Amino acid sequence: MNTSMKRLLVPAVLVVAVLILPRLVTSNYWMDLINLSISFAVACLGLNIVLGYAGQLSLAQAAFWGVGAYSSAILTTQFGLPVWAGMFAAFFVAAFFGILLGIPTLKLSGHYLAMATIGFGIILQLILVNAIWLTKGSDGITKIPSPWIGSFELKAPGDFYYVAAVSLILFTWGAINLKDSRVGRAFMAIRENEMAAGTSGVDTTYYKIMAFALSAGYAGFGGWLFAHSCSHYISPDTFSFDQSVILLVMAVLGGNGSAIGSIVGATLLTMLPEMLRFLKDSYMMFYAAGIVVIMIFMPSGIAGLVKSMPVGLRLRIWWNADSTAARQVAAAASILKSPDAALPATFSACLGSNQVLLTVKGLAKYFGGLRAVDGVDMEVRRGEIQALIGPNGSGKTTILNMLSGLYIPTAGEITLEGTSITRQKPHIITAHGVARTFQNIRLFGELSVLDNVLIGQHGRSKASLAASIFQPASQRAEEAAMRTKAMEVLEFVGLRGKEFSQANSLPYGRQRMLELARALVSDPQLLLLDEPAAGLNAAETEALVELLFQICDRGITILLVEHDMSLVMNVSDHITVLNFGKKIAEGSAEEVEHNQEVIDAYLGREVSNA
């Protein structure tokens, strides 16, 4: 089956499904259920974005669903606005509340975040109950109108179905597009490793709020679907914490991070209670027991199960074989001729130019009484490889963290080419041209090798949320260019052919190379490496050394922290030695090697027995 036929397959199936279904389902009851499932599915898709993509546990999704339902219900019943206007209101009012939730919870994660979202949801529900003048309180709002197309009222469930189905298709399409786009990757980077996302150039604050707003908007739209179909009646009881839990279970059952999974989960858990009617009261118990069992045995949900089955695997490979990504990667690979042609050699005869790139003055970091860094002055010259060494606890990593914006210095100034970068946020420092790797490898583990490197280019690309969802030609061109560049860097570090492997699955040494690639792809002026040789064997270390020389040849300045002395002595043009947070020596490798104070600090001073 060639590509163009494959491309037409999905839309064809969808068209058929949308048109045929109402003819197969004759009872209004089941049609109502389908509409209800779709309403939940859209809300679930939203949850999938904030939780599955961005990793933020939100237990307020039902509240946003309610806000959407109520916004539209109020506007259409009390103010007589057309239902389509209510649709926009539902989405945007809910999104606004999503922003309201996102802002105060930025610094929270895990249980604290979950708790805060629960609280937010409960407060919203209480407002719905008590603002009687607006929402009619517990009585709820009745006689919510159906939408009209021209002179045709979509009153019957079978008619409303078309609206619901088309909306579902559009919202799903958006969610799927989002996953493989700049914004989607930013979300996933935050989920996988927020710290590394920041240093790779992602403005985590902005994107977290965006995730909340977008997912709330989705939920709001789902609420609109709910209000204007089914019983045409809403009351606050429906939008409770329990409902948020149900939405969460739907999302996780379907498979966290899978858009199609969300639809499957939502449909299953809407239909199931009806089909299991015979269980009567014990239904909820089975449901709950099922949740526990699924968490123990199937934590990746249905999507995960399908992916791991051989059938699912083959289906995926067949489907992805001709995908845009694969074609672009293949195209880029054919352009690369030899390793030397990989990166344009921007030879700047910098070595020996003595031009200062980075200046550090009086840098200090105190953690309470602990003086991790205690007044350090340093200079890094353009084009050189400088090493920062010292025994455990001497402050090396703390300095790197301050240089990359992860710690705020207690005192001191950091200047990059005349611009002060002290106290700046990590993604801004990255934009200035500083990239780093981490001591404990911070890759975006569940993402592919290629995606890891693409995220590294986040700061050098532009696609907005709208562009990421609708994917106009300009966005697709940008993606293609990014992929080409990613391929070049992967070739450079020796990871060609592994583009679609999961980052986690790489052997340790290759993971280090990937982290290096991610840092390089952002076109940095200064590369900060935190123990790049840790855990590498002799052969891998030698390969690393070669790579470092080549990076330097391309005009990139390197500051590295290392314990492997053979690497340091071999590679560095200049060495700075720290001990107890202070600089005790600096100079060339020979000078440092023979410095008595350095020898004492490392080998240990012979303390005289008093």
Partner 1 sequence: MLKLEGVETWYGAIQAIKGISLDVSQGEIVALLGANGAGKSTTIKTITGLLKATKGRIEFMGKDITEMEAEDIAEIGIACVPEGRHIFPGLTVMDNLLLGTTPRKRDSKGDIQKDLDHFFEIFPQLQEFKESLGWQLSGGQQQMLAIGRGLMSGSKLLLMDEPSLGLAPIMVQEVFRVIKEINKAGTTILLVEQNARMALLIANRGFVLETGKVMLADTAANLLANEEMKAHYLGAHAHVKEARQRRRSKAEGR
Partner 2 sequence: MDWSTNLQMVAAGLAMGSIYALVALGFVLIFNAVNVVNFAQGEFAMVPAFVAVWLMSSLNIPFALTCVITVIFMGVFGIVFQRIAYYPLRHRSFLPVVISTIGVGIFLKNGAQIIFGAEPLSMPRPTSATALNMLGVFVDPQYIVIILCTLVLLGFQHFFFEKTMLGKKMLATAQDKQMARLLGIRVGKMIAITFAYSSILGAVAGILVGPIFFVTKEMGAMIGLKAFCSAILGGFGSVPGAILGGLFLGVIEVFASYYISSAYRDAFAFIILILVLLLRPQGFFGEKIAEKA
| Residue 606 found at the interface with partner 1 (CB under 8 A) | yes
Expressed in angstroms, the distance from the first to the final Cα of the chain is 86
Q: Which stretch binds partner 2 (CB under 8 A): 75-83, 110-118, 216-224, 581-589?
A: 110-118
Nearest to residue 419, comparing CAs of 434, 441, 397, 436? 434
What are the phi and psi torsion angles at 391 (to 5°)? -65, 170
Q: Which residues contact 135 (CB under 8 A, 6 or more apart)?
A: 70, 74, 127, 128, 129, 141, 236
- State the nearest-atom distance from the C-beta of 598 to partner 2, in Å: 26
Give the one residue of 299, 339, 352, 362 binding partner 2; rule: CB under 8 A. Answer: 299
- 180: amino acid identity, one letter: D
User: Closest by alpha carbon to 46, among 269, 243, 263?
Assistant: 263
**Which of 270, 34, 266 shows the shortest CA–CA distance to 157?**
34
Q: What's the CA gap between 547 and 87, in Å, rounded?
A: 56
Min dist CB 54 to partner 2, Å, is 13
Q: Give the C-alpha distances (Å, rounded to integers) separating 400 from 73, 197, 409.
A: 54, 16, 11
Residue 439's Cβ-side half-sphere holds a number of Cα atoms within 13 Å equal to 9
Residue 104 or 362: the one with the smaller Cβ distance to partner 2 is 104
Q: Is 245 in the site for partner 2 (CB under 8 A)?
A: yes
Q: Which stretch binds partner 2 (CB under 8 A): 24-32, 118-126, 263-271, 416-424?
A: 118-126
Structure tokens at 89: 């209101």
Does the footprint of partner 1 cover residue 345 (CB under 8 A)?
no
Q: Is 534 in the site for partner 1 (CB under 8 A)?
A: yes
Min dist CB 167 to partner 2, Å, is 28
In the list 391, 445, 494, 587, the residue contacting partner 1 (rule: CB under 8 A) is 391
Q: Binding of partner 2 at residue 130 (CB under 8 A)?
A: yes
Nearer to partner 1, 38 or 380 (CB): 380
SS3 assignment, position 526: strand
Count the residues in the chain. Answer: 610
Encoded tokens for 539: 């052969």
- In the block, residue with structure tokens 């009484």: 369
Q: Which is nearer to partner 1, 110 or 604 (CB)?
A: 604
Stretch that binds partner 2, among 22-30, 156-164, 295-303, 591-599 (CB under 8 A): 295-303
Instruction: Please give the backbone phi and psi of residue 605, each rounded to the nearest 5 degrees, phi first.
Output: -80, 140
User: Cβ closer to partner 2: 105 or 235?
Assistant: 105
Q: Which two tokens stand for residue 256?
A: 């966290």
Q: Which CB, 88 or 241, lies closer to partner 2?
A: 241
State the nearest-atom distance from the C-beta of 243 to partner 1, in Å: 40
Q: Least distance in Å: CB of 207 to partner 1?
A: 29
DSSP secondary structure code for residue 417 in this structure? T
10 lies in the binding site for partner 1 (CB under 8 A): no
34 vs 403: CA distance, rounded Å? 55
Per CB under 8 A, 104 contacts partner 2:
yes
Query: What's the token pair of residue 67?
Result: 């806000």
The binding site for partner 2 (CB under 8 A) comprises 57, 104-105, 107-108, 110-112, 114-116, 118-120, 122-123, 126, 129-130, 195, 241, 245, 248-249, 252, 256, 281-282, 284-285, 287-292, 295-296, 299, 397, 401, 406-407, 438
The binding site for partner 1 (CB under 8 A) comprises 349, 351-352, 391-393, 507-508, 511, 534-535, 537-538, 545, 549, 563-566, 569-571, 589, 593, 598-599, 602-607, 609-610
